[in-house]
Amino acid sequence: MKVDLFLIPNFLYLTFVTNTGTFWGLFSNINIFFMILSIIVLSLLIYIITVKTTLNKLNTILYSLVISGIIGNLIDRIIRGYVVDFIGIKIFNYNFPIFNFADIYIVIGVLLFILIGEKYETR
């Protein structure tokens, strides 16, 4: 593992990793598939929040997190041909997979949807 900069010694570090797959580098080298999938999911989410229903403030934030994460990774895939991951965490000599802010937004948005559920306001 090449660490470029430890922000918190032996815990949080910055490095540079290219990722043509999904989380943890799974399904590498099918970048075009993930670009198409991202566009489809992004279109579906935008459709849901603009046409289907009126969302409360919390769900607006959750959708915004997921959409922002998808757009961030999609821009990387289109411009670079891969996603740049750069944040690393090391706990008890275990290096978690490297990730980026877009991944954080997607994970937080999806986890909060699962934990608190999706609630709509009526029109």
Instruction: Spot the catalytic one: 38, 62, 74, 103.
Output: 103
Q: What is the CA radius of gyration of the chain?
A: 16
Residue 91 contacts residue 24 (beta carbons within 8 Å): no
Give residue for tokens 């489809």: 40
Residue 85 contacts residue 17 (beta carbons within 8 Å): yes
Instruction: Spot the catalytic one: 17, 19, 34, 85.
Output: 85
Chain mean position to CA 27: 16
Task: Work out the burial of residue 87: count CB atoms within 10 Å of its CB; fewer than 13 is exposed, 13-18 middle, 19 or more buried.
Answer: middle
Is residue 76 flagged as an active site residue?
Answer: no
Is residue 4 flagged as an active site residue?
Answer: no
Neighbours of 45 (CB within 10 A): 16
Residue positions annotated with a catalytic role: 85, 103
